[in-house]
C-alpha cells in the first residue's frame, strides 16, 4: 500500500487542521473555529452552487470541528446531498458525517433512507457496504422500519458477495438490538444458521454474532447451531497454526471466531447428542492441553489470544457445571495464573476462580489456593486486582476457613483503599453472620469491624446486628456488655431488657454523650429515653425536661424535632398502661432476608451473592436467630425505629391493623417516614395467591389485567394492557425477568409497540417451573405517554402454589403422612391475626383457590381446615399438607404447613399468612 | 449473557485530547462528553504496570497505550477482556500497515480514514472481518475508487 493514497487530499482541510493545532490558547482555537464556521455557513448559503469537492471539504471540516467537541447545527442537508453524489469519495464522506452526527429522530431520515435504498439496490458491493455500515452505525427505529425486511434477503441471497454478507449480518444484528419487534423470523433464519458452515471465515465471524444474539432470544428455533458450532470449533482447534492463513493471529488459529463459538455454546445446555458432546469435550480438553504447551511466540499477543480462548472455554465449562474433571483442570490452570508475572492474567484468574468457587465440583480445589489469594490481597499493587482477591476470598469462604478469611479481611480493612471499604465491610458482616459458630466471635468481629471502619459501616449492617442480637437472648448480655465497654453507641432497642438498677445514673451517663452523637444516633437515643420513662417512672421528670428543652423540641432536624415533640406528648398524655403497651418490648424480628445481603446483591459483579447463598444464609440466620418458635408475629409497638429498617417486607401485615385500633394513633400517625410507594408493586401480587384472574395494576394511564391457567409444572398467563387515556402509547415494550436464580422459565413474545388510546393489547407468557422458588418474576413495562417515558415494574403473581395438584386422601392416610413429615425443618408455622372476614365460605373459597384439595372429616375439630396437594416442578414432586386453625374469639389463626421440602413449607407459610 | 461486543471505543492522547470516538450504543452528546471526560481522567491516572482492565460503572474498560495514544474500549462486565485487548492491537496493526508506521499525526490529519478502517474491521461493535489482508484490501479498493466517476446503469 502506498504511504497513504491521499488522492483526494483536501488541502483546505489539512490547512485548517494545522491552524487549529497551532493555536496557542483555547480562546484562539475557538476564534479560529468560529471564523471557519462563518465561512462555511456563507458558502452553503451563497448563491453560487457548490461543486461536489467543495461540499465534501466543508462537510469534512464540520465533522472535524464536531469531533473537537463543538456543537454543529448545520450542514446536515449538504451531507445528505453528498449521499447521492456519483463520486465514491463524496458519498463516503456524506455517510461518515451522517453516522457520526445525525441522531435518530432527525427530519432528514427520510431523505437519508432514500439514498440508502438506492445504494442497496445498486448491486455495487462497495456502495452496498457503505449503506449497510451507515444503517449499522445509526441503527435508528426509522431505519429498522425501512430496511428490516430487506436486509435478511441480502444476507441469504445466493449471489451476494462475501463482504456484503458480513456487513448485512452485523447490520441486521444492530437493528435486532434496537427494534427486535421489526426483525421478523422467517425462512431466512434457518439459512443464517448454516452460515456457520460457510467457507469464508470472515462471513462466519460476522454471522456468528448475529446467530448468538438470535439464539438467546429464540433458543429453540436456533438449536441446530449447537452441533454446527461444535464441528466448526473442532476444526479450528485441531488445525495447525498455519492452516487458516490470515485468520491465524500470532500462531493462534482464529482466536476471535473461537471465542465467539464458545460464547454461542454458552447459550445452550450441554449437547444431548453423545457424539456432539464427546467432540466438544475433546475440544475443551485440547484447549486446556494447549495452555500447558510451551508458547510458540514470546509476543504478548500470542499468549493473550491463546488465553482469551482458554478463559472462554473455562466459562463454558463453568456454564455446564457437569464435568468434574474439566472443572478441576480449569481450576488448576487458573491456579498457575494466580502467580503469573502478567498482572492481567492474575486479575482474570482471580475473577474466573470466583465463579468456580460456587460449583460443588471445584469448590474444594479453589480453596487450596487460599494462601496465594490472601497474599494477593496483601501485596498486589493495583487496587482492582486486590478487589478481585477480596471477592474470591468471599466466594471461597465456608465453615472450614471462615475464621481465617474474616480475620484476613479485617486486617486488610485497616489499610484498604477507600473505594472498596464499604463493600469489604458488607462482606465481612455477611461472612461473620453466615458462619458464626459462637456468638461471642460474631459480636467481637462486628465490633472490630465498627472500630476499624466505623464510617463505612452502613445502616444495613447496624440493623442486621441489632436484629440478630434481639432474637438471641443469650447474646444480648454479652453484646450489651461489650458495647457498653467500648461505648460506641447505645441502641434504644435492646436497652430496656438490659439495663438494671440506678436508672437515673445511667440516663445521665447516656445523655452526657448525646451531643457527640450523629443525628440518627440521637434519634435512637430519644426513643431509648421514652422507654426509660416507661420502665423507670422516676426518670420521667428529668427526661421530660430534656425533651422540652429548645435544642430538642426546636431542633432543626425534622426527625429529631418530631420525635421530641411526640415523645413529650406521649409521656404526658398517656396513662401508664397505655405507655406500657405502646412501648412493650419488640417481638423478635420475623426471619427474613438479611438486609446486608440485599445491599450487596444490589452491587453487580462477580462478587455478588447468588440466591442459593441467600437461602443458605437464611437457614444459618435461622439458627443464629434461635429458631422461629417465638409466638405471634404481630408487632405491638409502633416504634419509630421499625420504619427505619427500610425493608418493604419488614412490617408484618398485622401491624397496620393493630395500630389502627390503638388509641394513640393520632400521636403516632405521622411519626417516622411514610412508607414510600415501593418501586415494585407488592400488593397486587399478594392478591393473586389464591386466585388466577383479575386486575393486577391500575393507575391513571394504564390498566393491566391477568388471566392465568396452570397444569402440572406449566402455566400460561394472559396479560391485557389497556390504555386508559385517549392518547397513543408509543414505544410500548415489556420484559419479563427472573431476578437472581429464580427457577422459572418464562417465555414471551414482544408486544406491539403502539397502543392506541382506549385500546387494549394482549400478551401471552408461557411459564415452566424448574424447581421450587421464592421470588417472583418481574414484569417491566416501558412506554412513552405524551413524550414522557413511563417505566414501571410489577411482581408477576406466579407463586409456588400455582403448581399444586390437589390430592384427596382419607383421614388415616393424612395423619400417617403428617407424622412422616415430622422433622422440625419440614414444618413451618405461623400464628397471626385475621385481616379479613373469618366467614367459612370465604375461607373455603380461598383454600380451594390455593390449588390444594380441601379435605373434609379429617381433623377431629370441625372448625379446622385441612388441605393436601402435590407441587409439580420439572424435576420433582413436593408433597404438602396444610392445617389452618381459626380462633374466632381471638380473631387469630394458627397455620401449619408440612412439606417434603423445607424451603417450600417456609415459602407457603409466608404467602398464606397474608391471605386470611 | 453478553457476546463479545464493544459499547464504544475512544482514542485519546496523553494530554487527554480525544482523537477518535466511536459509539456503538445510542447516547446523547451530553452523555458521550461526560463519559469521555470521566474515562480519560481515570485512565490517565493509572500507573504503567497496572492491569489493563478496570471496572467502571456497570462496564469493564479495556485499555492499552501505544506511544502517545491510549486506546480504550468498553465491554460488558462478563465479556472477554483478553480478546478485546487484541481487538485493539489488531486495529493498531491495521492503522500501522495503512499509514506505514502510524503516529498520532496521521490519525489527526486523516481522521476520516481512521474511521473508514474501523468500520471495515468492526461493525456495530462486533468483529466484521479479522483478517488484516481482507480489511486492507477493502480500503485499498475504496481508495482506487476515489476519483472514479460512477455512472448508474
Rounded alpha-carbon distances, angstroms, from residue A402 to A359, A360, A395, A409, A447: 18, 17, 11, 10, 17
The neighbouring-strand residues paired with B69 are B13, B66
Q: What is the CATH number of the domain that holds A767?
A: 2.60.40.1230
Those of residues 5-24 in A touching chain B at CB distance below 8 A are 5-8, 14, 17, 21
Instruction: Judge if A442 and A573 occupy the same domain.
Output: yes
Instruction: Judge if A793 and A830 occupy the same domain.
Output: no
Instruction: Judge if A819 and A754 occupy the same domain.
Output: no
Contact A195, A211 (CB under 8 A): yes
> Does residue A554 belong to any structural domain of this protein?
yes
What are the residues whose beta carbons fall under 8 Å from the beta carbon of A793, sequence distance 6 or more?
Answer: A679, A680, A681, A778, A779, A780, A781
Instruction: Judge if A810 and A910 occupy the same domain.
Output: yes
The neighbouring-strand residues paired with B63 are B72
Instruction: Judge if A817 and A765 occupy the same domain.
Output: no
Instruction: Tell which residue, A427, A566, A583, has the closest CA to residue A493.
Output: A583
- Whether the CB of A171 is below 8 Å from some CB of chain B: the reply is yes
CA A560 to chain centre: 35
Q: pLDDT at position A98, please?
A: 92
**Gap between the Cα atoms of A863 and A839, Å rounded:** 11
Instruction: Judge if A450 and A570 occupy the same domain.
Output: yes
Q: What is the CATH number of the domain that holds A887?
A: 3.30.310.10
Domain final residue pick, A551, A583, A615: A583
Q: pLDDT at position A639, please?
A: 36
Q: In angstroms, what separates the C-alpha of A206 from chain B's closest C-alpha? A: 5
Contact A802, A851 (CB under 8 A): yes
Q: What is the extent of the structural domain holding A554? A: 394-583
Handedness of CA A846, A847, A853, A855 (dihedral sign): negative
**Gap between the Cα atoms of A82 and A75, Å rounded:** 11
DSSP code, position A531? H
**End-to-end alpha carbon distance in chain A:** 81
Q: How confident is the model at residue B85 (pLDDT cuts 50, 70, 90)?
A: very high
Q: How confident is the model at residue B111 (pLDDT cuts 50, 70, 90)?
A: very high
Segments in chain A below pLDDT 50: 1-7, 485-501, 604-679
Mark yes or no for CB contact B128/A167 under 8 Å: yes
Residue of A nearest to B54 (CA): A384
Instruction: Judge if A533 and A477 occupy the same domain.
Output: yes
Instruction: Judge if A745 and A846 occupy the same domain.
Output: no
Instruction: Tell which residue, A527, A536, A526, A449, has the closest CA to residue A488.
Output: A449
The structural domain count of chain A equals 4
ipTM: 0.94
Helices (H), A296-342: 300-320, 324-337
Rounded alpha-carbon distances, angstroms, from residue A618 to A435, A598, A903: 12, 12, 10
Strand, coil or helix: A625: coil
Backbone angles phi, psi at A651, to 5 degrees: -75, 125
Those of residues 100-119 in A touching chain B at CB distance below 8 A are 100, 104
Those of residues 125-144 in B touching chain A at CB distance below 8 A are 126-134, 136, 138, 140-143
- Whether the CB of A460 is below 8 Å from some CB of chain B: the reply is no
**End-to-end alpha carbon distance in chain B:** 46
Q: Within 10 Å of residue A645's Cβ, how many Cβ atoms? A: 19
A60 annotated to bind ligand = yes
Domain final residue pick, A777, A798, A819: A798
Burial class of residue A275 (count of CB atoms within 10 Å of its CB; 0-12, 13-18, 19+):
exposed
Testing the interface with B: which of A129, A204, A385, A603 to mutate, by most B Cβ within 10 A? Answer: A129
A670-683 per-residue burial string, b: 16 or more CB within 10 A, e: under 16: ebbeeeeeeebbee
Instruction: Judge if A531 and A549 occupy the same domain.
Output: yes
Domain final residue pick, A736, A769, A798: A798
Q: pLDDT at position A392, please?
A: 94
Rounded alpha-carbon distances, angstroms, from residue A865 to A801, A833, A847: 17, 17, 9
Instruction: Tell which residue, A594, A693, A572, has the closest CA to residue A645.
Output: A594
Q: Which residue has the cell 464427546?
A: A278
Q: pLDDT at position A482, please?
A: 57
Q: pLDDT at position A669, please?
A: 33
Contact A806, A882 (CB under 8 A): no
- Whether the CB of B52 is below 8 Å from some CB of chain A: the reply is yes
What are the residues whose beta carbons fall under 8 Å from the beta carbon of A636, sequence distance 6 or more?
Answer: A581, A584, A587, A658
Structural domains in chain B plus CATH codes? 6-150 (3.30.450.60)
> Does residue A255 belong to any structural domain of this protein?
no
> Does residue A485 belong to any structural domain of this protein?
yes
Residue of B nearest to A380 (CA): B50
Strand, coil or helix: A711: strand
Instruction: Judge if A401 and A524 occupy the same domain.
Output: yes
Q: What is the largest CA-CA distance in chain A?
A: 103
The neighbouring-strand residues paired with A791 are A782
> Does residue A733 belong to any structural domain of this protein?
yes
A11 annotated to bind ligand = yes
> Does residue A320 belong to any structural domain of this protein?
no
Instruction: Judge if A792 and A741 occupy the same domain.
Output: yes
Q: pLDDT at position A682, please?
A: 60
Radius of gyration of chain B, Cα coordinates, nearest whole angstrom: 16
Q: pLDDT at position B87, please?
A: 96
Q: Which residue has the cell 407488592?
A: A682
Those of residues 877-906 in A touching chain B at CB distance below 8 A are none
Instruction: Judge if A877 and A757 occupy the same domain.
Output: no
Those of residues 126-155 in A touching chain B at CB distance below 8 A are 126-127, 129, 132-133, 136-137, 139-140
**Gap between the Cα atoms of A148 and A182, Å rounded:** 6
Cell representation of residue B10: 475512544
Burial class of residue A229 (count of CB atoms within 10 Å of its CB; 0-12, 13-18, 19+):
buried
What are the residues whose beta carbons fall under 8 Å from the beta carbon of A896, sequence distance 6 or more?
Answer: A827, A828, A829, A882, A883, A884, A885
- Whether the CB of B99 is below 8 Å from some CB of chain A: the reply is yes
Strand, coil or helix: A629: coil
Contact A265, A230 (CB under 8 A): yes
Q: pLDDT at position A86, please?
A: 83
Q: Within 10 Å of residue A784's Cβ, how many Cβ atoms? A: 14
For residue A141, the chain B residues in CB contact (below 8 A) are none
For residue A249, the chain B residues in CB contact (below 8 A) are 86, 90, 130
> Does residue A479 belong to any structural domain of this protein?
yes
Amino acid at each position: 500500500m502506498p504511504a497513504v493514497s491521499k488522492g483526494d487530499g483536501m488541502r483546505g482541510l489539512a490547512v485548517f487542521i494545522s491552524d487549529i493545532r497551532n493555536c496557542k490558547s483555547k480562546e484562539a482555537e475557538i476564534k479560529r473555529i468560529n471564523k471557519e464556521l462563518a465561512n462555511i455557513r456563507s458558502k452553503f448559503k451563497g448563491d453560487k452552487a457548490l461543486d461536489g469537492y467543495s461540499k465534501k471539504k466543508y462537510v469534512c471540516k464540520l465533522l472535524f470541528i464536531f469531533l473537537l467537541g463543538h456543537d454543529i447545527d448545520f450542514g446536515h442537508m449538504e451531507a445528505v446531498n453528498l449521499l447521492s453524489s456519483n463520486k465514491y469519495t463524496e458519498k463516503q464522506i456524506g455517510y461518515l458525517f451522517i453516522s457520526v452526527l445525525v441522531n435518530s429522530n432527525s427530519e432528514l431520515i427520510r431523505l437519508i433512507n432514500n439514498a440508502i435504498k438506492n445504494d442497496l439496490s445498486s448491486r455495487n458491493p462497495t456502495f452496498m457496504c457503505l449503506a449497510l455500515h451507515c444503517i449499522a452505525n445509526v441503527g435508528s427505529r426509522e431505519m429498522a422500519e425501512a430496511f428490516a425486511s430487506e436486509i435478511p434477503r441480502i444476507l441469504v441471497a445466493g449471489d451476494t458477495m462475501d463482504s456484503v454478507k458480513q456487513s448485512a449480518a452485523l447490520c441486521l444484528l444492530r437493528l435486532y438490538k434496537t427494534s427486535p419487534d421489526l426483525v421478523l423470523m422467517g425462512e431466512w433464519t434457518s439459512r443464517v444458521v448454516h452460515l456457520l458452515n460457510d467457507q469464508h471465515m470472515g462471513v462466519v465471524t460476522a454471522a456468528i454474532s448475529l446467530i448468538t444474539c438470535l439464539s438467546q432470544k429464540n433458543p429453540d428455533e436456533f438449536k441446530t447451531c449447537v452441533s454446527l458450532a461444535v464441528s466448526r470449533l473442532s476444526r479450528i482447534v485441531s488445525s495447525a497454526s498455519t492452516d487458516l492463513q490470515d485468520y491465524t493471529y500470532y500462531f493462534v488459529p482464529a482466536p476471535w471466531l473461537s471465542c465467539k463459538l464458545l460464547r454461542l455454546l454458552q447459550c445452550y445446555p450441554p449437547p444431548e447428542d453423545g457424539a456432539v458432546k464427546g467432540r466438544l469435550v475433546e475440544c475443551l480438553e485440547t484447549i486446556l492441553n494447549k495452555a500447558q504447551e510451551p508458547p510458540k511466540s514470546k509476543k504478548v499477543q500470542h499468549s493473550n489470544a491463546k488465553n482469551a480462548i482458554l478463559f472462554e472455554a473455562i466459562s463454558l465449562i463453568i456454564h455446564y457445571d457437569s464435568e468434574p474433571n474439566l472443572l478441576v483442570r480449569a481450576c488448576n490452570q487458573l491456579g498457575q495464573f494466580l502467580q503469573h508475572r502478567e498482572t492481567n492474567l492474575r486479575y482474570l484468574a482471580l475473577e474466573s476462580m470466583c465463579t468456580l468457587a460456587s460449583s460443588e465440583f471445584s469448590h474444594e480445589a479453589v480453596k487450596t489456593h487460599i494462601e496465594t489469594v490472601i497474599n494477593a490481597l496483601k501485596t498486589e499493587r493495583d487496587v482492582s486486582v486486590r478487589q478481585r482477591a477480596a471477592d474470591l476470598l468471599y466466594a471461597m469462604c465456608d465453615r472450614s476457613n471462615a475464621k481465617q478469611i474474616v480475620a484476613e479481611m479485617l486486617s486488610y480493612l485497616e489499610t484498604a483503599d477507600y473505594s472498596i471499604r464499604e463493600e469489604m465491610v458488607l462482606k465481612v458482616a455477611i461472612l461473620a453472620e453466615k458462619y458464626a459458630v459462637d456468638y461471642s466471635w460474631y459480636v467481637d468481629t462486628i465490633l472490630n469491624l465498627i472500630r476499624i471502619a466505623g464510617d463505612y459501616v452502613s445502616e444495613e449492617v447496624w440493623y442486621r446486628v441489632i436484629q440478630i442480637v434481639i432474637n438471641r437472648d443469650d447474646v444480648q448480655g454479652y453484646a450489651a456488655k461489650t458495647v457498653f465497654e467500648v461505648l460506641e453507641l447505645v441502641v434504644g432497642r435492646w436497652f430496656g431488657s438490659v439495663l438494671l438498677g440506678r436508672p437515673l445514673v445511667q440516663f445521665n451517663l447516656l445523655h452526657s454523650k448525646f451531643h457527640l452523637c450523629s443525628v440518627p444516633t440521637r434519634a435512637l437515643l430519644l426513643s431509648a429515653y421514652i422507654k426509660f420513662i416507661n420502665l423507670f417512672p422516676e426518670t420521667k421528670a428529668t427526661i421530660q425536661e430534656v425533651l422540652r428543652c429548645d435544642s430538642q423540641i426546636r431542633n432543626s432536624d425534622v426527625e429529631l424535632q418530631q420525635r421530641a415533640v411526640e415523645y413529650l406528648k406521649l409521656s404526658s398524655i398517656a396513662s401508664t398502661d397505655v405507655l406500657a403497651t405502646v412501648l412493650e418490648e419488640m417481638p423478635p424480628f420475623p426471619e427474613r432476608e438479611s438486609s446486608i445481603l440485599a445491599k450487596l446483591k444490589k452491587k453487580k459483579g462477580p462478587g455478588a451473592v447468588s440466591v442459593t447463598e441467600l437461602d443458605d444464609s437464611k437457614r444459618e440466620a435461622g439458627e443464629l436467630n434461635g429458631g422461629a418458635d417465638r409466638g405471634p408475629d404481630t408487632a405491638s409497638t409502633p416504634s419509630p425505629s421499625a420504619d427505619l429498617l427500610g425493608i418493604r417486607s419488614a412490617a408484618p401485615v398485622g401491624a397496620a391493623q393493630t395500630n389502627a385500633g390503638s388509641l394513640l394513633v393520632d400521636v403516632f400517625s405521622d411519626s417516622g417516614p411514610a412508607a414510600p410507594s415501593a418501586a415494585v408493586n407488592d400488593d397486587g401480587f399478594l392478591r393473586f395467591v389464591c386466585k388466577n384472574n383479575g386486575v393486577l395494576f391500575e393507575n391513571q394511564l394504564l390498566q393491566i389485567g391477568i388471566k392465568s391457567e396452570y397444569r402440572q409444572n406449566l402455566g400460561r398467563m394472559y396479560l391485557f394492557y389497556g390504555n386508559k387515556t385517549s392518547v397513543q402509547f408509543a414505544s410500548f415494550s415489556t420484559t419479563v425477568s427472573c431476578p437472581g436464580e429464580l427457577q422459572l422459565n418464562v417465555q414471551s413474545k414482544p408486544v406491539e409497540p403502539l397502543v392506541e388510546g382506549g385500546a387494549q393489547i394482549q400478551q401471552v407468557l408461557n411459564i415452566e417451573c424448574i424447581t421450587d422458588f421464592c421470588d417472583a418474576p418481574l414484569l417491566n413495562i416501558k412506554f412513552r405517554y405524551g413524550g414522557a417515558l413511563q417505566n414501571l415494574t410489577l411482581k408477576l403473581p406466579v407463586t409456588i402454589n400455582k403448581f399444586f395438584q390437589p390430592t384427596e386422601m382419607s383421614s388415616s392416610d393424612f395423619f400417617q403422612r403428617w407424622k412422616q413429615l415430622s422433622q422440625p425443618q419440614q414444618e413451618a408455622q405461623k400464628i397471626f391475626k385475621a385481616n379479613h372476614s373469618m366467614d367459612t365460605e370465604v375461607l373455603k373459597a380461598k383454600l380451594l383457590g390455593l390449588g390444594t384439595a380441601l379435605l373434609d372429616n379429617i381433623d377431629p375439630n370441625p372448625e379446622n381446615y385441612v388441605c393436601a396437594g402435590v407441587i409439580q416442578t420439572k424435576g420433582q414432586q413436593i408433597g404438602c399438607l396444610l392445617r389452618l386453625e381459626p380462633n374466632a374469639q381471638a380473631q387469630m389463626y394458627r397455620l401449619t404447613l408440612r412439606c417434603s421440602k423445607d424451603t417450600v413449607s417456609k415459602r407457603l407459610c409466608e404467602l398464606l399468612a397474608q391471605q386470611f | 449473557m453478553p457476546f463479545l461486543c464493544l459499547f464504544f471505543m475512544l482514542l485519546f492522547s496523553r494530554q487527554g485530547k480525544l482523537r477518535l470516538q466511536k459509539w456503538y450504543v445510542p447516547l446523547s452528546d451530553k452523555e458521550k462528553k461526560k463519559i469521555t471526560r470521566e474515562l480519560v481522567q481515570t485512565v490517565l491516572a493509572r500507573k504503567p504496570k497496572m492491569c489493563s482492565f478496570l471496572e467502571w460503572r456497570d462496564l469493564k474498560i479495556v485499555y492499552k497505550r501505544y506511544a502517545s495514544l491510549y486506546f480504550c474500549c468498553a465491554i460488558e462486565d462478563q465479556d472477554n477482556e483478553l480478546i478485546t485487548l487484541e481487538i485493539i492491537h489488531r486495529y493498531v496493526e491495521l492503522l500501522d500497515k495503512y499509514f506505514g508506521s502510524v503516529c498520532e499525526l496521521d490519525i489527526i490529519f486523516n481522521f476520516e480514514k481512521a474511521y473508514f478502517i474501523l468500520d471495515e474491521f468492526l461493525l456495530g461493535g462486533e468483529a466484521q472481518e479479522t483478517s488484516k489482508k481482507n480489511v486492507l484490501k477493502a480500503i485499498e479498493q475504496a481508495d482506487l475508487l476515489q476519483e472514479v466517476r460512477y455512472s448508474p446503469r
